[in-house]
Amino acid sequence: MQCHTRPAAIKPCEEAVPILLFILALLMISGCAGTTTFIAYPDKINPLIADLQTRKSIDFTHCFLSECKSSDMILYNMERGRIAQIVGNTDASMRDFAASMDVIREKEQKAIVSVSDIGAQAASVAVNDNAIPYEGAGYERVMLHQFQAMNYLSKNDLEGAGVEIRRANFEQEEALKRHEDELDEARKVAEEKRLENPQQVDAIKSQFSQLDEAAGKVKNSFQNAYTFYLSGFVYELANQQNDAYIDYKKALEIFPENTILQRDVIRLAMKLEMNRELEDLKSRFDPGPATGEAVTEKNAGELLVLFEDGFAPQKQEVKIYIPVPRVGLIAAAFPIYRSGWTSARPLLVTSGKEVVGSTETICDIRALAVKSLQEKIPALAIRQTIRAVAKGVAAKRADEKFGALGFFGATLWNLVSETADLRSWITLPEDAQIMRVTLSAGMHKLTLQHEGSRAEADIDVKIKPGGKTILRVVRAGDVLYNAVLVF
């Protein structure tokens, strides 16, 4: 059942008691009595991460069966698809990623508001933000299409990979528009609710000031150089040099310090005879000895190493107390990322006693995650203020109508239900790195060593004459998962 009108604004001061009394019914209507309303999301994913770190076999036929059909199915399918991809189950990964994409696409195409949407929003006011179905952060949706492109590359399907790469690039543009719409909606809600004390919102925002340094490493959470770089490489595989050059340049604008990226942009500028741009590029960057024409020799080929290190940071809960006029202090829970992360550590690649090269960071996904949370603070602060007022008024009215027992019950509900929304795609890597070198044609026995951990692996890599080989490496603790794709 659906309705064609927007849900009426819920006035927290007038409707708080009915909302709290009927919250279980709301959760059932909205389908939000799901997996994370009262259970911290990372607690459900960390056991699987532990399995990856010990190479324990994972049964995908029984993994997250109910969760992948819940209101948070977008997120759980992304997690399961990522884990399946890491361990080499490409078919399962493709199915899960496609399932997430289908739900995202369905939600975007809906022109009307459903009853479940109304119930979810109402439930979030009375319970917590976990009651709102997870739809994926901008950077997560971009990575979703990028990883699906990798699945297509695993099957040597360049056309399929190209489609997903274009979708990823389109998603980077759309995410910015969605962010602006979310800010406008948050302002409208604040005006509709007529918040009695705007300083409450400012007090909440101040709790996130520690994120500024990490978030400052990226311009926004919607664009990342890793996706643009893979896009450029796919275009090169398809012999679309001009498109490759455009996306390499976009990646360079985002992450100009990566020397491998610098060399690729200069190489294609030379090949495409972009003389004016080439002069500017050479004045800004030292191309190094690897600059020149793409490899075409019969006795050599290229190796591209894609290194995805570790796992994305996990949100933690912090509680503060918000002053509610005529009520007092009300507890409020917020998601936060703790600072103190270590610098990215490269992957060293050797052949015998010879150093082939080491990877360089091209995307700090930790910074994207922090920036994404920071971008959501205005809307989050307004929702939290509205919820605090609603719960505070409910406690006051319960005291007036039912005495100490009523006040105790309302206060207990506030404490039990007030949990932070810790959901995010946490099996994403904490950072992505690349290395690109020319090697002689034939089989190469390479040793991979990660600085800062005991992760090490030996792998045989085939280089075709005039061809390109992708070596994708994922680190999970002291374990290195790898896959070799030859083109």
Q: Is the pLDDT of residue 135 over 60?
A: yes
Residue 76 confidence (pLDDT): 97
Residue 28 confidence (pLDDT): 42
Read off the pLDDT of residues 394-422 as tens digits, 9 standing for 90 and up.
Answer: 767 766 777 776 665 655 566 566 788 99
Reported CATH class of domain 41-112+121-486: mainly alpha
Average pLDDT, rounded, for the chain: 82
421/317 Cα distance (integer angstroms): 8
143/368 Cα distance (integer angstroms): 11
Residue 26 confidence (pLDDT): 43
CA 326 to chain centre: 40
Average pLDDT over residues 183-209: 62
Read off the pLDDT of residues 445-473 as tens digits, 9 standing for 90 and up.
Answer: 999 999 989 999 999 999 999 999 999 99
- pLDDT-wise least confident of 197-211, 225-239, 351-365: 197-211
75/477 Cα distance (integer angstroms): 23
Cα torsion 86, 91, 93, 97: sign: positive
Read off the pLDDT of residues 144-190 as tens digits, 9 standing for 90 and up.
Answer: 999 999 999 999 999 999 999 999 999 988 877 777 777 666 666 65
Domain borders along the chain are: 41-112+121-486
Read off the pLDDT of residues 29-40 as tens digits, 9 standing for 90 and up.
Answer: 444 444 555 578
Residue 457 confidence (pLDDT): 97
Between residues 433 and 210, the one the model is more confident about: 433
Beta-strand relationship, 300-309 and 316-324: unpaired
Read off the pLDDT of residues 244-278 as tens digits, 9 standing for 90 and up.
Answer: 999 999 999 999 999 999 999 999 999 999 999 99
Q: How confident is the model at residue 19 (pLDDT cuts 50, 70, 90)?
A: very low
Residue 416 confidence (pLDDT): 61
Residue 357 confidence (pLDDT): 97
Read off the pLDDT of residues 310-359 as tens digits, 9 standing for 90 and up.
Answer: 999 999 988 877 777 666 677 788 899 986 778 899 999 999 999 999 99
Q: Is the pLDDT of residue 281 over 50?
A: yes
Between residues 39 and 114, the one the model is more confident about: 39
Q: Is the pLDDT of residue 21 over 90?
A: no
Residue 121 confidence (pLDDT): 47
